Amino acid sequence: MEDHVQFSTFFYPRSIAVIGVSPDKNNLGQNIVRNCLSFCYEGEIFSVGLRKGVVFGQRIYQSLEEIDREIDLVAILTPAKTIPGILEQCGRKGVKNVVIESSGFSELGEEGKPLEIASLEIARKYGIRFIGPNGIGVTNLEVGVALPFMPLRADLALGPVSILAQSGGVGLSYLNFLADERVGINKFVSMGNKLNVDENDLLSYLIQDKGTKIILLYLEGFTNGRRFVEIASKSEKPILVYKSNRFEASARIAQSHTAALFADDKLVDYALEQAGCIRINTLDDAMDCIKSQTLPPLRGNRLAVVSRSGGHAVIAADACAYHGFKLAQLPDDFLRKFESHFRAHVIRLQNPLDLGDLFDLEFYEYIVEEMLKRDDVDGVLLGHGYRRGYEQEASRELLKTVEHLVEQYQKPVATFVLTEAAEKDYLKKTLKIPIFSAPENAMRALSLSYRWASQVSRLEDIPVPGGIDREKAKKIFGDSRNRSFLFLDESMELLASYGFSLLPYRLAKTSAEAIEVWKEMKHPLAMKINRPHISHKTDQGAVRLALNSEEEIT
Amino acid sequence: MEDHVQFSTFFYPRSIAVIGVSPDKNNLGQNIVRNCLSFCYEGEIFSVGLRKGVVFGQRIYQSLEEIDREIDLVAILTPAKTIPGILEQCGRKGVKNVVIESSGFSELGEEGKPLEIASLEIARKYGIRFIGPNGIGVTNLEVGVALPFMPLRADLALGPVSILAQSGGVGLSYLNFLADERVGINKFVSMGNKLNVDENDLLSYLIQDKGTKIILLYLEGFTNGRRFVEIASKSEKPILVYKSNRFEASARIAQSHTAALFADDKLVDYALEQAGCIRINTLDDAMDCIKSQTLPPLRGNRLAVVSRSGGHAVIAADACAYHGFKLAQLPDDFLRKFESHFRAHVIRLQNPLDLGDLFDLEFYEYIVEEMLKRDDVDGVLLGHGYRRGYEQEASRELLKTVEHLVEQYQKPVATFVLTEAAEKDYLKKTLKIPIFSAPENAMRALSLSYRWASQVSRLEDIPVPGGIDREKAKKIFGDSRNRSFLFLDESMELLASYGFSLLPYRLAKTSAEAIEVWKEMKHPLAMKINRPHISHKTDQGAVRLALNSEEEIT
């Protein structure tokens, strides 16, 4: 809780000093001040830099000490080697929250290390928490804090999504995509090298942050996976995780994949599932998933599909089956209520309901509401299509009503609208419910929403297996640091140190030794070749099972 | 070839008569005429309808006979019951090509059948080929033929993609998506009930059609799958197939899936692979795939990745590995050529190449060209990002140059650009190369392109198994029409009729009969319960193997 108080200053500072501002036209520090001004930050902003001058009608201070006001937050964009000195200044000034955007630390190799150690040391001395280095800082649209050193686009809207990104570029691209989709943003942190503040600190904060309703993480690695799982699994907010760096080829050295690395990504999968997070692997997934989270959760798997085009009803039914949803079985007498509105009984009354023949858009609203009222319908997939200038007003009216119905019945209506991009953009801008491009996208979004809703309930507490000897495990990893593999006995000890019970084993260097072992064990043996560089042992006949005689063993 | 001459009249008629036009404001027939006028159709258009009047400055004729000119193509939108009569008029007038957009045929049930039979009969008598009924007809942007009965958006551009769709709604939605992506359209046919002209006829035509470079099919069922495979496998143009109706739930009756239906979709998969088609299952895939086809094909699997954001380089490397591509191994001396341009050696020279530190966009062009020159690089993934108004001109210049490089080296550069939607739209409008949203999309597009390029070569001829008795197979299906399953002996005969060699089998109704069979066969038996409604037989213990004694059998 203590922590949350200090962290809230990153997002709600009463005053900000930006260090690294100069009157030079191309000075990047100026962009930090400009962004805060554009997003109407309400506190005081002070510019600090070596050269005198005026920016945005305000003098540039030559040091923090010159400022005779209290500073809540300092953002720094100066060369790496100046950082420890500036942190020292911050400490003396009583500043507890710092954002370091400068690069030139350990991301460039060993030379950056000493600067990092010095910075951490000073931070500890003064009780400073700092975000970065090598990032683009903190943004909080609630109060206009906007510290990236590149100009942010002006049409970022305030909304439910907060983003933690280990890459400034990827974070920015998400701001872009969300803005294009007209989904509002709450907070955004580019975590950079995560030297002092990591994703776990920030995730803890966002989980209890009022403005944040949906959390999106972009990570290339976990600082502490176990802690992440502990924190994330307690979240009542959906956490979407885009974890890249999944294959060895992505981890700098272009090599063919090893089984170990595959397992690694599977482990990430497993951990994220344990943590109740939604893992996303593509931008399209991410956007559909975020959009789905702006709807009430889907609490069951029975859907009703209502579409204006027969073909899209078929596609929707396919997607429904593909994602494991059920088409709710609607009773005949219920469907017959709709019959009178259709011309000459040309429509089959069923689920999916194909409304191709119906031009009375108000009756659409009635149908959607009747579907939502039913206990055996957990959500609706609605497809509509129109042209700008044709049925435009009635269609916008319809979708506005659907928005109200979603609010009223607290069930999701995933809506795809087939119309021009410009009209879709208008709808996205004016409606609170998301608009999807196609039934496949809407259904995928429902599927991700459902997966999350069903995870939440069963994640109260995760059993932690007892008897774990972390020190021993650490030693094993330490000893093997310069190899890309573990020796057999290291693997076995590692498993044992995490509480796995193992069958007895021995290393035999000759057939004679193997036979000794067999006699000693008094059981049939499984034999396996012990060579680190033969990795697919079974394929190569290097694993033999159930050997129970001298001939079989030799 | 004869056929192609007649079919070309659907797309290049010298004159069109539209039957079903009235002076009424809400008359849909008028939209057909309006579309042709909007898209500047150059031939004569005649409106025909029962009521006299004037539309678009032209009198409405009361019958085809009144028109004293030759008519190449007739489009009909009148009630179903009038169709045979109108076809008769067409025949007498010497019209050989008709598009029937009216609905009310077999899609509404048995009542429509006699009208279909009558229509087919008249068509045969006069040598008429007709498209439809129950569709929205033919569009050919090359010459402004545009027969849909709803107003088409005006910004459809002429280009390489032709579409055959079994659903007018889905076809229209593809026109929309392509227009939004600024991908040009060549021809579009809504095939409706495919009564006289089916996808095979039209596919044959498009394969030899000059203007068509990429073919997209939306199908809910194949008229004749074998013929489809024969035709498609000879295509030198990429054929993308979106085949819906994949699960039983999609096929009207909501039931749980049966193994048979799963197999069915697998069969479609297999057939499409045999045919050298690219199967797509979502809108996103379809769009990325079509976009990739506007690039030269990717002829090998070694890629170079050049990105302006480190995070996106990691994501690109992930996607590269995920799709089975290799990152080309670029020699050190090659990479070192780039070194001088980077500030203070802060960038690792490797593939993926992270250009975050490089602000000289002309040097980007140099790097891309150097990559394309290499024999060990089959394609490039290029990532760029900028803000509108910042580096805008230089960025547009860079992308224009990339377009030329692609043309010059005939290798694909899949380009993702991180910028505002409006800027992306500008790029899509002005560039011939596709612009992708994210590395994942660009890589998926390359993957689809590569799959197609590698299929083309090995599809010269497909062996057709001999000894197929189609008549027998037809009879079996005919007999079982009113059941949702085949009896055991029907299944076995069906397999035999397609040339499968079967083990001998018998139906035993009692244990005693089973023992008789065993004695007669003189071999161990496999026994299986014969009940059509027990579908997962193995799960329920209803299959027993290797029975070789009286006790085991009873």
Check pLDDT > 50 for residue B135: yes
Query: Does residue A394 contact residue A388 with C-beta atoms inside 8 Å?
Result: no
Q: Does B321 contact A252 at a Cβ distance shorter than 8 Å? A: no
Q: Does B172 contact A218 at a Cβ distance shorter than 8 Å? A: no
**Distance (Å, whole) CA A50 – CA A47:** 10
First-to-last C-alpha distance (Å) of chain B: 64
Q: How far is B523 from chain A (nearest CA, A)?
A: 32
> What ipTM score was computed for the predicted complex, to two decimals?
0.78
* Nearest residue, CB atoms, B314 vs list A244, A388, A440: A244
Q: Give the pLDDT band of residue A257 (cuts 50, 70, 90).
A: very low
**Distance (Å, whole) CA B414 – CA B435:** 8
**Residue A410 — left, alpha, or beta (φ > 0 → left; ψ -120 to 50 → alpha)?**
left
A66 by Cβ neighbours in 10 Å (0-12 / 13-18 / 19+) ranks as exposed
Q: How far is B338 from chain A (nearest CA, A)?
A: 18
A372 by Cβ neighbours in 10 Å (0-12 / 13-18 / 19+) ranks as buried
* Nearest residue, CB atoms, A249 vs list B166, B317, B385: B317
* Nearest residue, CB atoms, A311 vs list B169, B356, B421: B169
**Distance (Å, whole) CA A211 – CA A187:** 8
Q: Give the pLDDT band of residue B456 (cuts 50, 70, 90).
A: low
Check pLDDT > 70 for residue A178: yes
Closest residue in A to B192 (Cα) is A311
Q: Which of B282, B392, B428, B447 best tests the A interface by mutation, with the highest count of A CBs <10 A?
A: B282
Beta strands in B379-452 (DSSP E): 379-385, 413-418, 435-436
Q: What is the pLDDT of residues B44-72, one digit of tens each?
A: 999 999 999 999 999 999 999 999 999 99
Query: Does residue B252 contact residue B244 with C-beta atoms inside 8 Å?
Result: no
What are the Cα distances from residue A499, in Å, to A256, A287, A489, A502, B502?
32, 40, 15, 9, 54
Closest residue in B to A150 (Cα) is B387
What are the Cα distances from residue A467, in Å, to A474, A477, A526, B82, B447?
15, 18, 28, 84, 47
Torsion B296-B298-B302-B306 (CA) sign:
positive
**Distance (Å, whole) CA B509 – CA B514:** 7
Greater confidence, B218 or B340? B218
* Nearest residue, CB atoms, B314 vs list A250, A388, A438: A250
Q: Does A284 contact B283 at a Cβ distance shorter than 8 Å? A: no
Count CB atoms within 10 A of the CB of residue A150. 15
Beta strands in A317-412 (DSSP E): 326-327, 353-354, 379-385
**Distance (Å, whole) CA B554 – CA B548:** 11
Closest residue in A to B254 (Cα) is A327
Greater confidence, A202 or A545? A202
Beta strands in B13-57 (DSSP E): 15-19, 44-48, 54-55
Q: What is the dihedral of CA A496, A497, A498, A502, to 10 degrees?
A: 0
Per-residue confidence (pLDDT) for residue B13, from 0 to 100: 98
**Distance (Å, whole) CA B141 – CA B11:** 9
Per-residue confidence (pLDDT) for residue A454, from 0 to 100: 75
**Distance (Å, whole) CA B486 – CA B479:** 9
* Nearest residue, CB atoms, A167 vs list B309, B318, B321: B309
Q: What is the pLDDT of residues A313-342, one digit of tens each?
A: 889 999 999 999 999 998 888 888 887 776
Check pLDDT > 70 for residue A207: yes
Q: Which of A284, A359, A377 best tests the B interface by mutation, with the highest count of B CBs <10 A?
A: A284
pTM: 0.78
Q: How far is B217 from chain A (nearest CA, A)?
A: 13
Residues near A348 by Cβ (< 8 Å), separated by ≥ 6? A354, B252
First-to-last C-alpha distance (Å) of chain A: 65
**Distance (Å, whole) CA A77 – CA A32:** 9
DSSP H helices in B102-243: 113-126, 168-180, 199-208, 225-232
Looking at the DSSP bridge assignments, the partners of residue A414 are A381
Beta strands in B120-267 (DSSP E): 129-131, 137-140, 145-146, 158-165, 185-190, 214-219, 239-243
Check pLDDT > 90 for residue A204: yes
Q: Does A282 contact B177 at a Cβ distance shorter than 8 Å? A: no
Q: How far is A51 from chain B (nearest CA, A)?
A: 24
A30 by Cβ neighbours in 10 Å (0-12 / 13-18 / 19+) ranks as buried
Give the residue from B140, B119, B109 showing the smallest Cα distance to B13.
B140
* Three-state SS at A174: helix
Average pLDDT over residues B268-291: 90
Per-residue confidence (pLDDT) for residue B263, from 0 to 100: 41
Per-residue confidence (pLDDT) for residue B390, from 0 to 100: 86
Crossing angle of the two packed helices A392-409 and A421-430, in degrees rounded to 10: 40
Measured in degrees and rounded to the nearest 5, phi and psi for residue B3 equal: -55, -45
Residues near A270 by Cβ (< 8 Å), separated by ≥ 6? none
Average pLDDT over residues B104-108: 76
Q: Give the pLDDT band of residue A413 (cuts 50, 70, 90).
A: very high
Q: Which residues of A touch B172 (CB under 8 A)?
A: 385, 418
Closest residue in B to A219 (Cα) is B311
Q: What is the pLDDT of residues A448-480, one digit of tens each?
A: 888 877 776 554 444 445 567 777 777 777 777
Query: Does residue A402 contact residue A382 with C-beta atoms inside 8 Å?
Result: yes
- Count of A-B CB contacts under 8 Å: 183
Q: How far is B318 from chain A (nearest CA, A)?
A: 6
Measured in degrees and rounded to the nearest 5, phi and psi for residue B215 equal: -115, 130
Count CB atoms within 10 A of the CB of residue A13. 25
Closest residue in A to B348 (Cα) is A108
Q: Which residues of A touch B173 (CB under 8 A)?
A: 309, 312, 385, 418, 438
Element (H, E) at A514: helix A511-521
Give the residue from A387, A418, A425, A181 showing the smallest Cα distance to B155.
A387
Closest residue in A to B168 (Cα) is A311
* Nearest residue, CB atoms, B329 vs list A150, A254, A311: A254
Closest residue in B to A425 (Cα) is B421
DSSP H helices in A75-134: 83-93, 113-126
Q: Does B220 contact A168 at a Cβ distance shorter than 8 Å? A: no
Per-residue confidence (pLDDT) for residue A448, from 0 to 100: 85
For B477-508, give one letter per residue: b (16+ CB within 10 A) or e.
eeeeeeeeebeeebebbbeebeeeeeeeeeeb
Q: Does A246 contact B318 at a Cβ distance shorter than 8 Å? A: yes
Query: Does residue A548 contact residue A519 with C-beta atoms inside 8 Å?
Result: no
Q: How far is B171 from chain A (nearest CA, A)?
A: 9
Pairing of the two strands A129-131 and A97-100? parallel
> In whole angstroms, what separates CA B467 from the centre of its chain?
32
Q: How far is B105 from chain A (nearest CA, A)?
A: 10
Percent of chain B with pLDDT over 70: 89
Per-residue confidence (pLDDT) for residue B470, from 0 to 100: 73
User: Half-sphere exposure of residue A314, counting CA atoms within 13 Å on the CB side?
Assistant: 19
Average pLDDT over residues B261-275: 78
Closest residue in A to B315 (Cα) is A244
Average pLDDT over residues B254-264: 36
What are the Cα distances from residue B336, in Å, to A24, B340, B342?
33, 8, 11
* Nearest residue, CB atoms, B254 vs list A165, A329, A425: A329
Check pLDDT > 70 for residue B330: yes
